[in-house]
Amino acid sequence: MKIPHLITIGIFCLLVSCSRSDKIVASIDGEPIYFEDIFSVIDESDFNKRSNEEKKTFIRKYAANKILSSIPQQELDEFGFSYEGANNRLRNKLIIKNIEKHIFNQLVISDSTLDFIVNAVNMDIYVKAVTVNHRFSFGKTNPRTKKEALKKAEVIYNRLLSNELTYEEALSIYSESTVSKIKGNEMGQLYYGLMPKKFNDAIWTSTMGYLHEPLETPIGYHIIIVDHRLPKLGTDRREVDREKMVKDLKKGKYGYQEENFIQFVENLYEKYDVSLNQDELYNAWDSLKTIDGINTMSGVSIDGLAEVETSNILAKINGSEITLEWIINETENYSFYNNISVNKGFSFYKLISDVIARHLMLQWYKDNREIFPDLEKTIKYKSIHKINTLYFDKMQKLNPDLTKEIIMNRFMLENGVVINSELFAEDF
């Protein structure tokens, strides 16, 4: 074939493509919707795989989404529906989900790590420990601050290190747990994975009799010593499928994924110059403790925290001040917090940390969109389905005698939506 013929065919194909993109598939009160609008939210190949009826259904949903996005929020408030809020929460959820997937994919499990785990799961360890709690500890708490807890833990450690005290004497002087005193400060037989990863790593890499410097976990600060080891023998010994173990670790087993995620967030703290004001966090918590129900099992909803008016500067992000009001407002951007409550210092501190982490992840996404080339289209596509479901579910609750199909048809008529049915008379 001659080159001019190739050029002619290429131009013809281009014209056909352009003419199709320019075709009007529907209209809203006379305002056209083109194929190119549809293909901005769904891949053309995916759209073409659908039956003609499915194509028309998708176009109706696209039109409904377009209409809802243009209705003033005060009008939607009459129906108890927030287009912007629902769309924003879905968008943030998908972005964070993809960032988490990206982070998890970065986790590399080395052969040495697998060797360590194989040995660890076949070795039980007996540990002695003195634990110093604080206001934001998980489980048992103490009125002291984290700084005060660390200082006390360092005093205990130094007295033990200098042989000024035995572990038993340290226990009788410093232990705050009646049960621990009865057990002689013996945590007992631990299996790998029972304690937080940082704790596990410390004792499973320790030599017997080694005194560890104060180790921080969500429980508090620990001064630990490995008393003795007990290898698993015979039928108790576990054979580890290394390939399965890698998959389990990437799903979160033994805390390797969590550790990887925490490191990512710590890097974001540094990148976006985040600082937490521990003193103001304690002051804010002391104020929140006056709310009725805050110390109950069910706790107080996040919205309920607004009952206390406080202007404490809890943190700063790139110089911007973070208050409790900012935290509460920020949670409205995530459906995740709908059923979250606060009942202790630990849950309060976790809420602050979690909200800031999510905020930073969204900022990081804005700065690194090239890593997720197809995400924006996916967000638009899923938004169409989500918004339609939420809105028409709400409308059906208000009109229980009508089916969703009838409500949708009425909505289409009221807003002048017309599908160009001729395009879908046969496959094209």
Based on the domain organization, do 90 and 127 belong to the same domain?
Answer: no
In this predicted model, what pLDDT tens digit does every residue of 147-183 receive, in sequence order?
999 999 999 999 999 999 988 888 888 877 654 444 4
Based on the domain organization, do 173 and 139 belong to the same domain?
Answer: yes
Based on the domain organization, do 65 and 158 belong to the same domain?
Answer: no
Q: Which of 239, 262, 281 is the last residue of a domain?
A: 239
How many Cβ atoms sit within 10 Å of the Cβ of residue 281? 24
Within a domain: residue 198?
A: yes
Grade residue 413 by pLDDT with cuts at 50, 70 and 90: very high
- Please say if the pLDDT value at position 400 is more than 80: yes
Based on the domain organization, do 349 and 398 belong to the same domain?
Answer: no
Residue in the block written with tokens 């340290």: 170
Do residues 285 and 327 touch, judged by C-beta distance below 8 A? no
In this predicted model, what pLDDT tens digit does every residue of 274-304 receive, in sequence order?
999 999 999 999 999 999 989 888 999 999 9
Mean pLDDT of 201-215: 90
State the alpha helices, DSSP H only, in 205-300: 242-250, 256-271, 278-288
* CA neighbor of 250 nearest in space, from 382, 104, 116, 375: 104
Based on the domain organization, do 389 and 356 belong to the same domain?
Answer: no
The H-or-E segment that residue 380 falls in is: helix 375-398
- Phi, psi torsion values for 25, nearest 5 degrees: -95, -20
Within a domain: residue 381?
A: yes
Within a domain: residue 247?
A: no
Grade residue 186 by pLDDT with cuts at 50, 70 and 90: low
Based on the domain organization, do 284 and 339 belong to the same domain?
Answer: yes
Q: Determine what percent of the chain is predicted with pLDDT higher than 90.
A: 71
The number of distinct structural domains making up the chain is 3
Based on the domain organization, do 292 and 235 belong to the same domain?
Answer: no
Mean pLDDT of 48-73: 94
In this predicted model, what pLDDT tens digit does every residue of 8-30 receive, in sequence order?
444 434 434 444 567 899 999 99
Based on the domain organization, do 210 and 235 belong to the same domain?
Answer: yes
What is the pTM (predicted TM-score) of this model? Answer: 0.87
Q: How confident is the model at residue 229, as a pLDDT?
A: 87
Residues written for the chain: 428
Based on the domain organization, do 233 and 138 belong to the same domain?
Answer: yes
| Structural domain harbouring 62 | 56-105+374-428
Within a domain: residue 34?
A: no
- Please say if the pLDDT value at position 3 is more than 60: no
Q: How confident is the model at residue 17, as a pLDDT?
A: 44
